[in-house]
Structure formats: structure tokens, C-alpha cells
């Protein structure tokens, strides 16, 4: 997975959630920062996935505001912290890579995915999912829910529910006819609710007729009491999908939430390694 940007652009736009390094001069600390102070700040930032603001950082580290500002400027410049849209700070890619091992980059990308999904969740006001079709299987790579945006219960094996979920149907819809039939031959369309489509011919017909620009819907096909919609997120050979879920009594919000998700899908492509 690689980050996307224009090869000819020497100053690519910063990914969502990261503000550009301040153009004003760096705050000048009264004396060079000590390793102990740097570690305090990094530990405080790394311990909060949602981001931590300067006031909370000052309280956690015990550093005076002027010294903390100087340290943050340096850490921003070097990529050890990121500044989020709300002004708070989160672990930057350089810090995550310091976690060691060959999986450092993967962890950095997972962190970025989670933060992107969290921003989308807050923007559309609903639980948000990101799914991919990999090696012949439907997989949910990540999701962002919360107390105000509960996610529906997951089956024991999400691969078996691709025929019923909005994300799964969106992924299957991006495959050719033979690939869809192959998937359904390995994962039979079982009934999860009274509205689940279990007839393979009907399901294939629905997928064939689905316009590529229209969100795919799940109106209580996967779970009673839950409605979902999904839009494609595709780059090269990657088959991906963004999904949003709402309680059934908020079905009137589903179409607008899906449109909002669709509007931000391109931004997600630019900020995530797919």
C-alpha cells in the first residue's frame, strides 16, 4: 500500500487531518529541549488515538506553554506528531515507524485509516466502515463507531455476509459476473433477516442492475433494526468500499449520509494507502 500524490508535485497537499507545518517562525525555547521533555510529549501524544490538545499536553507533561510550543513545532516539522483539523495533536508517521519491525509502516497506515474513518463518522453522523475485496474474500479493514454512532453486530465470519451487507454488495458489484458467481459458490447466500436476498439469480440480477454512481443499500437485509449504504472506493486493481450504518428509525438520513460519504471518497483515496 502506497500513499498517493502527483509525481510532479514537489509539495503535495497534506493528508486529511494533518495541517501544514506552521509558516510562522518556530517558537524559540529558552534552552535546547531535553530528551526527557521530548519523550514526555511523545508518550502523551502516542497514548491518545483521538488527538490531544495543547492544554491537555501541558497538564500531562508538566511543561510550560512556551517550551511545549517549541517542542511541538520541532516534532511537527520532523513528522513525529500530526496536527488534526480540530487543532489537537496525534502520533505522526515517523513516530509510528519508530515502533520497530517491518510492520511499522502498516501500523502507521492503520492509524491513518482509523483517523480518517473517525473524521468521516463525525462528518456524516453515523458509524462508518471501510471494506476491501482481497484474495476472493470480503473483508472489513476498519470502522469507526461510538456511543452516539453504534455499529451493527458482526457475524462470526464477515466473509459469509457479503450478499447482505451494503459494503459487501458494493464490493461484489465491482467484480465481473464470473467473479461474483465464484464468490457466491463459495459463500452461499444464507438468510440473516426476513429481507435478506437468498436467491442467487435474484442477487446477481440486483448487482447487475446497480448503477455505479448510486449508493448500494442494505435495508435491514443484514440486521433487523439497521440500515446501511455503501459507495465504491477504487484505485487501480484495489476493490474497496466505504459504508455507513444508521438505526432503522433514521432511514430518512441514509441517502444524504451516503452522498456525503461519496463526496469524501476521493479525499480518502488521496490520504490513504489502498
pLDDT at 273: 44
Residue 85 CB-half CA count within 13 A: 10
C-alpha cell read off for 70: 517549541
Contact criterion met (CB below 8 Å) for 81 and 75: yes
Contact criterion met (CB below 8 Å) for 228 and 222: yes
Q: Residue 2: what are its φ and ψ, rounded to 5°?
A: -130, 145
pLDDT at 30: 44
Q: Residue 41: what are its φ and ψ, rounded to 5°?
A: -65, -45
C-alpha cell read off for 139: 473483508
pLDDT at 6: 29
Residue-by-residue pLDDT tens, the chain, 274 positions: 333 332 333 334 444 444 444 444 444 444 545 667 888 888 888 877 778 899 999 998 889 988 899 888 888 887 788 888 888 898 877 776 665 555 556 666 677 778 788 888 888 888 998 999 999 999 998 888 876 766 666 644 678 899 999 999 999 999 999 999 999 999 999 999 999 999 999 999 999 999 888 899 999 999 999 999 999 887 667 788 999 999 999 999 998 998 888 877 765 664 554 4
Cβ neighbors of 86 (< 8 A, separation 6 or more) are 51, 53
Angle between helices 254-271 and 104-124 (to 10 degrees): 150
| Burial of 52 (C-beta count, 10 Å sphere; 0-12/13-18/19+) | buried
Query: At 93, is the secondary structure helix, strand, or coil?
Result: helix
pLDDT at 267: 59
0.75 cut: is pTM over it?
no
pLDDT at 154: 60
Q: Residue 149: what are its φ and ψ, rounded to 5°?
A: -135, 70
Amino acid at each position: 500500500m502506497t500513499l498517493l500524490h502527483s509525481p510532479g508535485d514537489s509539495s503535495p497537499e497534506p493528508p486529511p487531518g494533518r495541517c501544514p507545518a506552521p509558516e510562522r517562525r518556530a517558537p524559540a525555547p529558552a534552552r535546547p529541549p531535553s530528551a526527557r521533555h521530548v519523550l514526555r510529549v511523545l508518550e502523551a501524544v502516542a497514548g491518545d488515538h483521538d488527538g490531544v490538545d495543547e492544554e491537555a499536553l501541558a497538564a500531562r507533561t508538566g511543561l510550560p506553554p512556551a517550551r511545549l510550543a517549541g517542542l511541538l513545532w520541532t516534532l511537527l516539522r520532523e513528522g513525529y506528531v500530526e496536527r488534526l483539523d480540530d487543532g489537537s495533536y496525534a502520533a505522526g508517521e515517523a513516530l509510528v515507524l519508530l515502533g520497530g519491525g517491518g510492520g511499522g509502516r502498516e501500523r502507521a497506515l492503520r492509524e491513518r485509516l482509523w483517523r480518517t474513518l473517525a473524521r468521516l463518522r463525525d462528518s456524516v453522523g453515523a458509524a462508518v466502515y471501510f471494506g476491501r475485496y482481497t484474495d476472493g474474500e470480503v473483508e472489513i479493514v476498519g470502522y469507526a463507531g461510538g456511543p452516539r454512532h453504534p455499529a451493527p453486530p458482526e457475524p462470526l465470519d464477515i466473509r459469509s455476509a457479503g450478499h447482505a451487507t451494503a459494503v459487501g454488495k458494493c464490493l461484489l458489484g465491482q467484480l465481473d459476473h464470473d467473479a461474483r458467481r465464484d464468490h457466491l459458490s463459495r459463500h452461499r447466500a444464507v438468510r440473516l433477516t426476513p429481507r435478506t436476498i437468498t436467491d442467487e439469480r435474484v442477487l446477481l440480477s440486483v448487482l447487475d442492475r446497480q448503477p455505479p454512481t448510486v449508493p448500494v443499500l442494505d435495508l435491514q437485509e443484514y440486521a433487523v433494526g439497521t440500515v446501511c449504504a455503501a459507495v465504491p472506493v477504487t484505485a487501480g486493481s484495489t476493490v474497496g468500499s466505504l459504508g455507513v450504518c444508521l438505526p432503522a428509525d433514521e432511514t430518512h438520513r441514509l441517502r444524504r449520509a451516503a452522498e456525503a460519504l461519496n463526496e469524501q471518497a476521493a479525499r480518502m483515496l488521496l490520504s490513504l494507502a489502498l
